[in-house]
């Protein structure tokens, strides 16, 4: 909580809901949050209510006179003030209620510009939906065309048929995975990460197989397209597997009771 915040613990008599609550004391935490642990709050309400009401009455009376003129010690009733003139039932020995009291009338609401209502026929509505559908298909077709062009350029510039085959498999797998994840509701993304750990494990195995395929590099830097793809697949699989286990652990902690024993799955 922010510094200056106040917590009133109504269960202070039974131990309190806050960890630092102390019965019949006001505790200030290290970051400036005050925790009130009074156990006699019902007996304090009468005095508190009287103080609040008296403060409101005093502020109201002060708003009638001294603050109107802005001069200290000068009391002048402002009959132009709506709250003041509605409160006074008599002034200077003259009866004001109910003839001389002007009822308060709120200002009129701002005028809103009239919106023109356009009525469309069924044919126009269908035409608009078809136009939106066509635009969506055109956008998807453009993306697919760019991807196919990039794949074709990669095949033309590559010397190895195996690299083309691996790249085609990688592109199809990426497209299928994108469509699967995109069709899942956002509320299910966390469970989906936990479920895809097995799939990511298989991609990690495939990446390591690619790293061992063909001529071995002299150093740590891959020396062929298949090695590069294997290294990227292994790295992304490691990130996905680690993140999936972390998210799964966070989700399971939500259902864990305070008195449950600790788990040591990381061992």
- pLDDT digit string, tens, across residues 104-117: 777 788 877 777 77
Tell me, what DSSP letter sits at residue 92?
Answer: T
The ranges of the chain with pLDDT < 50 are none
Q: Nearest Cα to 210, choosing from 231, 188, 236, 241? A: 231
In this predicted structure, what is the pLDDT of residue 68?
A: 58
Cis ω on the peptide bond leading into residue 49 (within 30° of 0)? no
Q: Nearest Cα to 252, choosing from 53, 16, 244? A: 244
Q: Please identify which residue in the block is written with the tokens 């062929």.
A: 224
For the chain, report the end-to-end CA distance as a whole number of angstroms. 35
In this predicted structure, what is the pLDDT of residue 6?
A: 93
Q: Nearest Cα to 34, choosing from 25, 42, 43, 47? A: 25
12: buried, middle or exposed (CB in 10 Å: 19+, 13-18, 0-12)? buried
Q: Nearest Cα to 129, choosing from 120, 116, 141? A: 120
Helix, strand and coil content of the chain, in percent to the nearest 5, comes to 55, 5, 40
In this predicted structure, what is the pLDDT of residue 256?
A: 76
Q: Is 69 within 8 Å of 63 (Cβ atoms)? A: no
The pTM for the full model equals 0.31
């Amino acid at each position: 909580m922010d510094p200056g915040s106040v917590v009133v613990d109504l269960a202070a008599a039974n131990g309190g809901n806050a960890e630092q609550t102390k019965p019949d004391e006001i505790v200030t935490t290290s970051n400036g949050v005050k925790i009130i642990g009074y156990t006699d709050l019902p007996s304090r309400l009468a005095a508190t209510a009287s103080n609040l009401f008296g403060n409101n009455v005093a502020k109201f009376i002060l708003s009638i006179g001294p603050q109107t003129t802005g001069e200290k010690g000068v009391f002048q009733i402002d009959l132009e003030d709506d709250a003041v003139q509605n409160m006074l039932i008599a002034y200077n020995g003259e009866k004001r209620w109910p003839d001389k009291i002007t009822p308060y009338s709120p200002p009129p609401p701002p005028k809103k510009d009239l919106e023109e209502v356009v009525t469309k026929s069924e044919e126009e509505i269908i035409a608009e939906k078809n136009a939106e559908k066509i635009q969506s298909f055109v956008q998807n077709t453009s993306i697919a065309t760019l991807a196919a062009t990039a794949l074709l350029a990669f095949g033309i510039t590559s010397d190895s048929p195996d690299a083309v085959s691996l790249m085609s498999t990688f592109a199809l797998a990426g497209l299928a995975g994108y469509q699967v994840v995109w069709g899942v509701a956002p509320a299910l993304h966390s469970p989906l990460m936990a479920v895809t750990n097995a799939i990511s494990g298989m991609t990690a195995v495939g990446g390591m197989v690619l790293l061992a395929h063909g001529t071995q590099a002299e150093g740590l830097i891959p020396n062929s397209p298949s090695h590069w793809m294997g290294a990227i697949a292994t790295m992304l699989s490691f990130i996905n597997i680690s993140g999936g286990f972390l998210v799964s652990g966070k989700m399971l902690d939500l259902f864990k009771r305070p008195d449950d024993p600790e788990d040591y799955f990381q061992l």
